[in-house]
Amino acid sequence: MPRLTIDRYDLKILEALQEDALMSNVALSERIALSPSPCLRRVRRLKEFGVIQSTLTVVSPDSVGYDIQALIQVRTERYGEGEPVPFEQAVVNMPEVLSCFETSGATDYIVHAVARNMPSYSKLARKVGGIEGVKDIQSSIVGQTIKPWSILPLKHLAVESDPG
């Protein structure tokens, strides 16, 4: 799929929706000074091109009984190009895994996961460590979240998209 060119209206839409993803189209169109129909078309196009991936409600883990958050570093066996990696398939299907990143350096993946308490965390760690191809895991329990998920900075797009 070709890369979408982001203009100043698209940039305003993205900034506004990152602040309030549930904003109505009318409110959005007023905020960015564009009539509702073209505004809606732009939002749909941004979704079609995968720029807007989803609308997400972020729930505080501790407020719903997940007292443990962990960052788990995972080292795996090496696999050939195009070969399925059992670890990747397994973590996608684990609801307690919030995100997983393939990384460079000493570890192959970093997993962000939640657990209700230490016994359930121990069970989760054994589950992750027991996935086919996992050589080693090292965990860090999150003490305090200093900066949770936040708005993606887009100011560089204003320079690229506005010739004047």
pLDDT above 60: residue 164: no
What's the whole-number average pLDDT of the chain? 92
Lowest mean pLDDT among 25-29, 58-62, 80-84, 146-150: 80-84
Q: Does domain 8-56 have CATH number 3.30.565.10?
A: no
This model's pTM is above 0.95: no
Give the mean pLDDT of 16-21.
Answer: 94
Q: Edge-to-edge strand order for the sheet containing 97-102? A: 97-102, 109-115, 68-76, 134-141
pLDDT above 80: residue 84: no
More confident residue, 150 or 60: 60
Q: Residue 37's pLDDT band (boundaries 50, 70, 90)?
A: very high
Between CA 115 and CA 94 the distance in angstroms is 12
Lowest mean pLDDT among 85-94, 128-137, 146-155: 146-155
Give 122-141 as a DSSP string: HHHHHHHHTSTTEEEEEEEE
Class of the CATH domain delimited by 61-141: alpha beta
pLDDT above 90: residue 155: no
**Where do the domains of the chain lie?**
8-56, 61-141
